[in-house]
């Protein structure tokens, strides 16, 4: 009986290894993961106006509106403090905030919670402080902003041009060099 279980376990492990290797070698893993790590750039002529941010509690700022930010490049980061992938993007976001805010970039973190404890504004305030986030963060507990932007995963970043149009979108971690090049491009554009 013990040998039978052992053989079954070995068969399962070998099967998993074979399937995993096949998926990797065939390139299917990139196809399967693409929706979670994809970027899209939009030309000026094809870009849509970004939906306005919905009401929420603001941290590190008075309430902001996209209309009030016209003339600035805006990076909107959909995140939640319990998401490790979101936390992995923070060094780049904080660096861009420090380097480009005086050159016309405004970063706004839209906190769309995944778990109940993330809905508590006091917990969010503690997380923002402990993570060293100094750019504005707004709560999105009812997912209205999330839905307006048609977000499907954490983290998702949007870059808006100085006229408030969506010019770049990225889902997942990575592509930091591409994002920074896009920030620089949008900052250099005329209004």
3-state secondary structure of 159: strand
- Residue 191 pLDDT level (bands cut at 50, 70, 90): confident
Are the C-beta atoms of residues 148 and 56 closer than 8 Å to each other? Answer: no
Domain ranges of the chain: 1-34, 37-188
Q: What is the pLDDT of residue 130?
A: 98
pTM: 0.81
The fourth-level CATH superfamily of domain 37-188 is Glutaredoxin (3.40.30.10)
**Cα(65)–Cα(163) distance, rounded to whole angstroms?**
13
| pLDDT tens profile 8-51 | 777 777 767 776 666 555 554 444 444 456 788 888 777 889 99
| 111 C-beta neighbours (distance < 10 Å), count | 26
Q: What is the pLDDT of residue 26?
A: 54
**Cα(25)–Cα(23) distance, rounded to whole angstroms?**
6
């Amino acid at each position: 009986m013990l040998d039978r279980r052992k053989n079954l376990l070995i068969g399962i492990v070998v099967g998993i290894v074979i399937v995993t290797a096949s998926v990797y070698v065939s390139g299917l893993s990139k196809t399967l993961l693409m929706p979670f790590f994809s970027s899209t750039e939009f030309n000026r002529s094809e870009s849509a106006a970004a939906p306005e941010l919905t009401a929420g509690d603001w941290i590190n700022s008075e309430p902001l509106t996209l209309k009030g930010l016209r003339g600035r490049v805006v990076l909107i980061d959909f995140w939640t403090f319990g998401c490790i992938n979101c936390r992995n993007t923070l060094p780049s976001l904080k660096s861009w905030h420090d380097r480009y805010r005086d050159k016309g970039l405004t970063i706004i973190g839209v906190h769309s919670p995944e778990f109940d404890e993330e809905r508590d504004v006091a917990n969010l305030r503690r997380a923002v402080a402990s993570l060293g986030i100094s750019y504005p963060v707004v709560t999105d507990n009812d997912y209205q902003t999330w839905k307006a932007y048609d977000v499907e995963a954490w983290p998702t970043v949007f870059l808006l041009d100085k006229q408030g149009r969506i010019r770049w979108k990225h889902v997942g971690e990575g592509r930091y060099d591409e994002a920074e090049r896009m920030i620089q491009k949008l900052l250099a554009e005329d209004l």
